[in-house]
Amino acid sequence: MDLTTTLLAASKADKNAEAQLHQWTEQNYAQIAPALALELASEDKPEQARTSAGLFLKNTLYGKSVKTQQIYHARWKALSAETRKSIKDSLMLALRSNLPSIAHFGAIAASEVAAVELPYREWPELLPTLTANLEAAPHIQQAAFECLGYSLERMGELEETVPGWPELQPDLVDKMLTTIVNGVSPSKPEPIRIRALTALRNSLVFVKKNMQVAEERNFIMRQALMEATRSPDVSIRKLAYESLDQVAELYYEHLQDYMSNIFELTTQAIRTDPDESVKIAAIEFWSTVATVEMSIIDEQALGSSSLACQYYTKSALPNLVPLILGTLSQQDEHIEEDEIDLHSTGALCLQTISQTVEDIIIPSVMPFVNQNISSDNWRLRDAAIVAFSCILDGPDTQAVAQYVSQSIPVLLQSFEDPNETVRQSAIFCLSTICKLHTIAIQPAQVHGILECLLKKLAESPKVASQACSAIYNIARSLRDETDQDTNLMSQPMMTLLQSLFQVCDRSDASEHNLRATSLEAAAEVISSAARDVHIILVQVLPNVIDRVETALKMPSLSKEENDEKYQLLSNWCILYQALLRQLPKEAVLPHADRCMATLLQILQMDNSISHDEAFMAIGSLVDNVEGDFAKYLDYIIPLLIKGISKFEETNACKTAIGTLVDISVNCGANLVRFGDQLVSVLFECLKDSSVDRSLKPVVISCLGDLAMALQGAYEPYMQVTAMLLMQAAQQQAPADDEDLLLFINELRLAVLEAYMGILIAFEDGNKLHLYMQLLQNIIGFLQYLATPASCADEQVVIKAVTLLGDIARLLGSNDSVKATLKAPFVMQLLTQCADVSTSTWTNEQVNAAVQS
């Protein structure tokens, strides 16, 4: 009775009831899990309590993060076989309930259990039960297909996200497909067919073996999916095109026999289907085909593609592009920013096609642009501008240069169009030109463009945000000219910064991400500054500090206000970084204390939204003031250790480690008194098996930088360091696993950097004799890297040769080192080294050591 009452209350969003259920789950999962399953299956219980039980049971197995998922699965597997059987028996009863809602929630809960058990060949009774249920009432059949569909979807997600998750066995896939095909026939009722097609779509990621068999492939493609595109039911047609989209992504190599039919079906759907969602799904098929072919072409250029490009996109251009262009004039003025409509889908497809076919897209689109750019109909004017924007990314600058040059006056004129959508598109188009084809813009045009953009900063948040992005792209294109006395940003510098700061102060700046966009643009304008405007930047720094101090005092009562405040502080930290990278040390030192005080306050806040940028700003301050940063170490080190300790927040941890590297480089021996704490947290990260593997190389490389700072004081950490570096160096990957091999080479590079850092540390600390403890491991590592079996990449070999040179230079007088330098692997590494100067230098050091 307590459980039923609690479930009824939880179904009405009673927080206390929800907390009670969570408490029971944490305290005694072995009791609550079967109780929930039994509640779901009990016909004498209230329907609302039963559906609530099914949903909650499902949630006890569904983790939102990989770590939580692993904990939940371990908790399930810890249940006794008898307890798990009782739960599954109850779920199979629920799947056959006379109430459609109970069968539905039974499918949801059963699918989560199936996702955990089927890959391990457990719960063999499930598929026969589902197959038998296909002879029962229609709602029970629907629940059977729902269970299959949800199970396949979850198993696909788990296989992709959870490390070490087992692949679904082909014989199990065959059994599931056999069950699914019963429901895809046009003779089946539409609700059943919808659920069967959903299950088929979710199974596609697992049917690689089936797609290699012509008869099975033909059934999936022709009898199931292509037949479904002709259904009178909108949901079925949409599902069919979504599934064909997934086939194109997963099994491009098997499309050839079906492309003629698919071309007819998709183009007909784009042209005449009465439902927009079906049109969108048909267009997305071609976006996927173009994306796959772009990847194949790129890989072929590198000599690494295993697929042959069939150039379906290029062949479809004459008939497909006019249909896509037709969608661009079907704008939905009331659509939310993140929603997808026919217009945005068509634009994305055209852009993807352009990226794939490159220059040959131009003659297919430019007649449409020229014909409609001056139309009386705003929809056609906008469509022309959007079409031109879409083909800017793909063709070479030389191919579009004349069109870019001609477009700028027209686009600036469109800035004043009476329709806001057209104004937004014109600004976006010009922003894209500035990003991709700046060299096609005449220098004399830049100031005129900036003047027009400055006027747009006063318009609606959406238009102003687009203008900020355009200013950002213009400034970014001039980054290579910062080491000059002057550049195109010098004259408008002060006006640009003042205007962008004013935008940040607008009362509506939180709309359309305007505040963040304006400050990002201001940071890029600062980063593009030439030497003649540094005097302006000197005045800007204290102004920015004032603004950060004001932001820190902002009251924030709600979570939304808090997040807005932290995001604002994060954006101001980006400004700090830009200024600190540009200004000379003597200009920064008078303001360093105030700047550092604000950054420490940000890092002391509970919310971590702004911590990453604050750490990077501190890194910029360290690089600027160098050794003068040492006076802040007592304040920053505890916060730095706290940031590094967040192993589960991979990017935040990496950022904190990057700041530690900056401090190590600039503060050197001042870090000695913090050595135990810093080395300890880095060791802890390396020993934690649950951390994201991409952290490991970052941590190992940091040990080398920290060692160089500590010099001889690194001696107490040598034993553990030697063990950890040896373990990392022993990691290997099969030659055909590209992702793992890439990671292993990153790891090797970090190990070599650590070995080099420690060598330099002991050289500076007059303790080179300690390095001999590492030498046996290092030589074994270098010998392995010299062999083809290691699959060491170019950068690893270069770093290995550099380390070898340092060893020869500093330890070459030792007889055992001298003997090692005569070994064949040394010449093998030198021969493989792609950097001639490094190879030559190391060869000289080796020869000098051997001959000494």
Say if 624 falls within a structural domain. no
479 vs 377, 470, 482, 484, 717, CA distance in Å? 40, 15, 6, 10, 42
Phi-psi region of 331 (alpha: psi -120 to 50; beta: other; left: phi over 0): beta
The answer to whether 667 touches 710, Cβ cutoff 8 Å, is: no
The answer to whether 539 touches 533, Cβ cutoff 8 Å, is: no
CA distance 241 to 229: 7
CA distance 731 to 719: 19
How many residues are given for the chain? 852
**How many other β-carbons are positioned within 10 Å of the β-carbon of residue 122?**
16
Q: Mapping DSSP to helix (H, G, I), strand (E, B) and coil, where does residue 834 land? A: coil
Residue 169 has a pLDDT of 87
The answer to whether 699 touches 746, Cβ cutoff 8 Å, is: no
Say if 104 falls within a structural domain. yes
Dmax (CA) of the chain: 93
The answer to whether 525 touches 493, Cβ cutoff 8 Å, is: yes
Say if 776 falls within a structural domain. no
CA distance 848 to 831: 18
Say if 354 falls within a structural domain. no
- Domain total of the chain: 1
Of all residues in the chain, the percent with pLDDT exceeding 70 is 100
Per-residue pLDDT of 181-199, as tens digits, reads 878 989 999 999 999 999 9
Say if 125 falls within a structural domain. yes
Residue identified by tokens 């330099």 is 760
Contacts of 505 (CB under 8 A, 6+ apart): none
* HEC profile of 764-802: HCCCHHHHHHHHHHHHHHHHHHCCHHHCCCHHHHHHHHH
Say if 719 falls within a structural domain. no
Per-residue pLDDT of 422-444, as tens digits, reads 999 999 999 999 999 988 888 88
Say if 630 falls within a structural domain. no
The range of the structural domain enclosing residue 34 comes to 1-212
For residue 136, give the CATH number of its domain: 1.25.10.10
- DSSP-assigned states of every residue in 41-82: H-TTS-HHHHHHHHHHHHHTT--SSHHHHHHHHHHHHTS-HH
CA 465, 467, 470, 474 dihedral sign is negative
Per-residue pLDDT of 769-817, as tens digits, reads 999 989 999 999 999 999 999 999 999 999 999 999 999 999 999 999 9
Residue 392 has a pLDDT of 97
Residue 262 has a pLDDT of 97
CA distance 38 to 17: 19
CA distance 421 to 434: 20
In this model, does residue 1 exceed pLDDT 60? no
User: The whole model's pTM is what?
Assistant: 0.82
Reported confidence tier of residue 336, pLDDT bands at 50, 70, 90: confident
Residue identified by tokens 């590592």 is 781
What is the separation of C-alpha 284 from the centre of its chain, rounded to a whole number of angstroms? 21
Say if 842 falls within a structural domain. no
DSSP annotation of 395: S
**How many other β-carbons are positioned within 10 Å of the β-carbon of residue 114?**
26
The answer to whether 267 touches 290, Cβ cutoff 8 Å, is: no
